[in-house]
Structure 1
Amino acid sequence: MGAFLLLLLLHHLLLPLPRAAGGAAVCGRCPGPLRNGSVVARFCASRPGTESDGRCCRERGARPERLLGLDLSNCSLRSLPPGLAEATAAIVLDLTENPLAPFPDGSFLGFTQLQRLAVPPALGCPGGSSAWEEVTTRGSSRLCQGQRNPCNGSGELAWLCPENAACVPDGPGLVQCLCDGPFHGYKCLREGTFPAPLFCGVLGAVTLALALLLWGTQRRKAKAS
């Protein structure tokens, strides 16, 4: 019986946490379908092979499903929703007609495919105007178009990467540094392959130790009761 409980505990510890498939949670953040006239609705109508899913526009038949557009306009949002990270593959995003506060730094981390972002006119484009090819303000929206590669041009951000790393875009005005092979580790100073077997062994030992500790604690509680 004790061995069975231990195996069951290990199973729950090692089981990956469930994730919303293809941005399902953020697509239902606001009621109703795509709003007529929104930049997302126009994009979805003009691009072949797309289909609407609530407030989202998806690539039809893609596996895994790819979220191309997200319409969160007129949703009474005061801040960006927690599930926005599910939409990092989006090409178009509409946030107009919301009483949004200024975006914190890094709010659009990972949105490397984003090419059209509509925001309330009181807000600036994330990353600043220099992070976009074109910024236009008309009526109740500011449209940020054509995300620029911050690693190109003057190289103001690229120089932040260490010697053995390459600058890679990571969202509007954001970059990350990826180590060039065979370098890895802190500031890409270590050379050679990453010690995956050692890492997995240590991780497995720690997990097993935690499982035994929890099992022993629960067993003592059961005996005491």
Structure 2
Amino acid sequence: MAPREPGSGIDLVRWALALLLALCVERGLALPEVCTQCPGSVQNLSQVALYCNNSSNLTLQARCCTNWKGTILGLDLHNCSLEDPGPNFTQAYTAVVIDLQTNPLKGDLGNTFRGFTQLDTLVLPRAVKCPGGHNAWENVSFSTSNRICQGQKNLCNSTGEPEMCPENGSCLPDGPGLSQCICTDGFHGYKCMRQGSFPLLVFFGILGSTTLSISLLLWGTQRRKAKTS
């Protein structure tokens, strides 16, 4: 049997499979964009590094501390010349520790942390207020260069405050100083006043019939115009 020449069909198939496998592995290990939006790595003495090094199950990668699933538990964007955290910041909504000190941050950061319900320690430039204000945190401390917000409070558990949600709704935390009201089972609509499940079939039936009617009307109008032209 003649020896197989280099570049035969089998070799090409093997090369293609190896390349595909390498691309899949690389994609699976790729970090979220927020971890690499700023060059450098986490400083050894930062709050994020201290938190991450306390557990053998956590890993420091670029600017993030992640678990084995790739979930972001710490984010260190200190000294990144940021005026705002950026469009990819919501990727870190699972973070427990975030460091944003030494950045020229501008504006109110309240809505920036919407959905960050796990956040427990936030390091900011001294001139920047904690999102939600002092009442949203158990402790707020200062140093010469930064402000540290610690212990995010659950506004839904606040005592002595008026009811934040209607009688048929339940309160859920939604980030520092933020909450949302979710209708309990069997209620929907404004202030959860309507009883029964939301009529999805009726809603989409009406929406579909309306869309079909408008489409037929436009088609008929265009067809008449085409005949008269």
Q: TM-score, normalised by structure 2?
A: 0.73
Q: Quick one: which of 155, 172, 176 aligns to 1:172? A: 176
Q: Is the 8 A contact 1:23 1:86 kept in 2?
A: no
Change in 2 beyond 3 A, CA 1:210/1:144: farther
- What does residue 24 of structure 2 align with? none
- What does residue 216 of structure 1 align with? none
In structure 1, distance between residues paired with 2:115 and 2:148: 19
1:45-56 paired onto structure 2 within 5 Å: 45-56=53-64
Residue 156 of structure 2 corresponds to residue 151 of structure 1: yes
Stretches of structure 2 that go unaligned for 5 or more consecutive residues are 1-28, 217-229
Deviation digits for residues 51-95 of structure 1 (CA, Å, limit 9, x no counterpart): 1222111111x2xx3111111100001122121111111111100
Deviation digits for residues 90-124 of structure 1 (CA, Å, limit 9, x no counterpart): 11110001111142432211110000000001111
Identity of aligned residues (%): 48
* Structure 1 outlier segments of 4+, above 2 Å: 102-105, 153-156, 194-212
Provide the secondary structure at the position in 2 that maps to 1:85. helix
Q: Quick one: which of 113, 122, 137 aligns to 1:132? A: 137
CA RMSD after TM alignment:
3.0
In structure 1, distance between residues paired with 2:100 and 2:213: 47
Stretches of structure 1 that go unaligned for 5 or more consecutive residues are 1-20, 213-225
Q: Is the 8 A contact 2:110 2:176 kept in 1?
A: no
In structure 1, distance between residues paired with 2:208 and 2:107: 43
Question: Given residue 44 of structure 2, which amino acid in structure 1 is its aligned partner?
Answer: N
Q: TM-score, normalised by structure 1?
A: 0.74
Change in 2 beyond 3 A, CA 1:181/1:30: same
- What does residue 95 of structure 2 align with? 90
- What does residue 38 of structure 1 align with? 46
Q: Is the 8 A contact 1:22 1:66 kept in 2?
A: no
Q: Displacement, 1:160?
A: 3.0
Question: Given residue 126 of structure 2, which amino acid in structure 1 is its aligned partner?
Answer: P
Report the structure number with the largest CA radius of gyration: 2
Report how many aligned residue pairs link the two structures. Answer: 192
Q: Quick one: which of 152, 163, 166 aligns to 1:162? A: 166
In structure 2, distance between residues paired with 1:46 and 1:142: 23
